Chain A
């Protein structure tokens, strides 16, 4: 039962953080180049535009859900399983989600990078 809870938490972390990353990425693309906007309109306009973006708020909400799922997972499983498993799976699911929802051009180079980094994270925690 402990394993089921731990892997359910890993699934929840991966789902929530992938959703959060995709929403935050979409929000920042809608806001535009932060550096250029800051120079043109100033810091307060930039902050207002970011904080009023619904995707940004939903993204932060999803990231909060990921954080609490992590805390839940850590109460059921070892940190050496929960942290690397969720981090490495998130790299791969982010590549899939970015291709589907953000229409990013995920070429073989980016797939290789996601898989290599995911494998590397697993080995670091081994």
Chain B
């Protein structure tokens, strides 16, 4: 994993949680939309918070797709779940909502899950579909043979 890739994961987390918060704030400013006035839903995008929220959610989708192009789904989803923690912290410190003990335990569990998954490899290596390897992306299995190591060092040489 390179610094650039961690930035993409941070982009997924930040864009999703801040985008959701902005959409929520914007829609509260717009007010309730009744089924008889559905066209108000289109005008809602003129609200600055809603517009910025939509832009950030587009940024979320772009960074999510980028992350999925070089990392496993089972790596990206837990690794970017810190957004839930961020949303709770925004609710606590920015919106001044009460955060209960069970929510703090929830934050601890999510953080532990993120810690678990980010210590492992980001991508499953399929030998049949050999891709350029990258240090840190190789599965950390103890049973890796010499051919695998040779392949990895060759790939590193090629990268240099």
Contact = CB atoms under 8 A, between A and B. Distances in A.
Interface of A: 21-22, 24-25, 28-29, 31-35, 50, 91, 94-95, 98-99, 102-107, 109-110, 112-117, 119-124, 126
Contacts of A126: 100, 102-103, 106
10 contacts: A25-B68, A25-B73, A50-B65, A95-B74, A102-B72, A110-B75, A110-B120, A113-B74, A116-B109, A124-B107
B74 A110 contact: yes
* Residues of B contacting A: mostly: helix
Given A28-B69, A104-B72, A124-B88, A91 B116 contact: no
B interface, size bucket: 35 or more
Contact of B112 (A21, A94, A116): A116
Contacts of B107: 120, 124
B83 to A, nearest CB: 11
Interface string B59-73: 000001110111011
B110 A121 contact: yes
A104 to B, nearest CB: 5
Contacts of B70: 33-35
B48 interface: no
B106 A120 contact: yes
A122 B106 contact: yes
A29 B69 contact: yes
A79 B100 CA distance: 18
A121 B108 CA distance: 11
